[in-house]
């Protein structure tokens, strides 16, 4: 399995857990996923691409009337995943 496939697998699992419960611990898993991806030198573009692949799967398989809520949830999850990238870019305070 390639690093990109690993990221896709891990992202899908974390995002689906978040959608099922939408609790803080599930957002923390997204944050940890972002930290792991950053530490593994995965690019920001790789992470965003994987997010969109997984989101497209969820939207394709979900009810049309849930699309707005799924989009809001996906946005919040992505922000958590990318928080590490933002902190790394800003550097120490």
Structure tokens at 87: 């902190």
Over the stretch 17-40, which tens digit does the pLDDT of each residue have? 999 989 898 899 999 999 999 999
Residue 77: count other Cβ atoms within 10 Å of its Cβ. 25
Residue 54: count other Cβ atoms within 10 Å of its Cβ. 20
pTM, 2 dp: 0.90
CATH architecture assigned to 3-90: Orthogonal Bundle (1.10)
Tell me the pLDDT band of 93, cut-offs 50, 70 and 90.
low
Domain spans in the chain, listed from the N-terminal domain onward: 3-90
Distance CA 14, CA 29 (A): 6
Helix, strand, coil shares, percent, the chain, to 5: 85, 0, 15
């Amino acid at each position: 399995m390639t690093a990109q496939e690993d990221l896709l697998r891990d992202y899908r699992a974390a995002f689906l857990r978040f959608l099922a419960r939408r609790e803080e611990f599930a957002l923390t898993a997204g944050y940890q996923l972002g930290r792991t991806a950053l530490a593994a030198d995965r690019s920001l573009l790789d992470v965003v691409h994987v997010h969109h692949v997984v989101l497209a799967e969820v939207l394709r398989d979900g009810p049309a009337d849930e699309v707005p809520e799924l989009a809001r949830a996906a946005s919040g999850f992505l922000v958590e995943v990318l928080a590490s990238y933002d902190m790394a870019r800003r550097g120490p305070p």
